[in-house]
A and B are shown apart, each in its own frame.
With several copies, the nearest count.
Chain A
């Protein structure tokens, strides 16, 4: 596993940064030259993770959101989205499709399900009152096929 490039980004939990985070991670991952669909998958997963930090971790306050990304070998991207917000009590329940703690905000409860489906793997770590870290990995199969 060779790390060929890496980056770290941080920004305040303002909703205008959801689009910004998508652009940054997509620009970084596009160095591997994935397909349009694969890049769209990454953007979607990042959008979900960043939105969760903004809505759930910090609720109506402003705190830092951090994204780390690494390009592994020549076809894999690893993305970590981290917040220092309220944390998740029951991760298993949180990851269930349709579960949301904020139905009043019309949340669909599908964020984690989308991250899981659009990426190859998803790991969630959380400590109550300390924050949450989401780690996602995706191997761009279109690259392997091209070689």
Chain B
């Protein structure tokens, strides 16, 4: 499980790779919360191109970050989902609250406007 960050204006791209399960959500959660404690970050997007697996523990972790970001009026998005990850998110109803972008470009355009 690897995590890396990149900042674009006031929104943060969080790149995850490997398998996100209960075993590593704690570590990932801490890394993200540490980063988003910086107040100038308003929106976050998870780039999951290299995430090969997740389950409801991953959903819980993403929802937890969504709630924090929502409090400051920000938006949470995801981009580049592999089929397994997409199915887990769909069945969990995650797309009711998390924005699904087809590409990083789509996310950039979106955040340029909001």
Do A and B truly interact?
yes
**Interface extent on A, as a size class?**
20 to 34
Minimum Cβ distance to chain A for residue B58 (Å): 9
The contact string, 1 if C-beta is below 8 Å from chain B, for chain A 88-113, is: 00000000010000000111111101
Asked if B23 CB lies within 8 Å of chain A CBs, one says yes
C-alpha gap A47/B85 in the complex (Å): 13
Chain B residues within an 8 Å CB radius of A105: 60
Asked if A43 CB lies within 8 Å of chain B CBs, one says yes
C-alpha gap A46/B55 in the complex (Å): 10
Query: Does the CB pair B84–A110 fall under 8 Å?
Result: no
Query: Does the CB pair A43–B22 fall under 8 Å?
Result: no
Chain B residues within an 8 Å CB radius of A97: 93
Total interface residues on B, CB under 8 Å, equals: 22
Chain A residues within an 8 Å CB radius of B104: none
Asked if A117 CB lies within 8 Å of chain B CBs, one says yes
CB within 8 Å for A106 and B53 given contacts A18-B22, A51-B22? no
Asked if A55 CB lies within 8 Å of chain B CBs, one says yes
Chain A residues within an 8 Å CB radius of B87: 40-41, 44, 118
Query: Does the CB pair B56–A117 fall under 8 Å?
Result: no
C-alpha gap A107/B64 in the complex (Å): 9
Query: Does the CB pair A106–B60 fall under 8 Å?
Result: yes
Chain A residues within an 8 Å CB radius of B57: 47, 51, 107-108
Asked if A16 CB lies within 8 Å of chain B CBs, one says yes
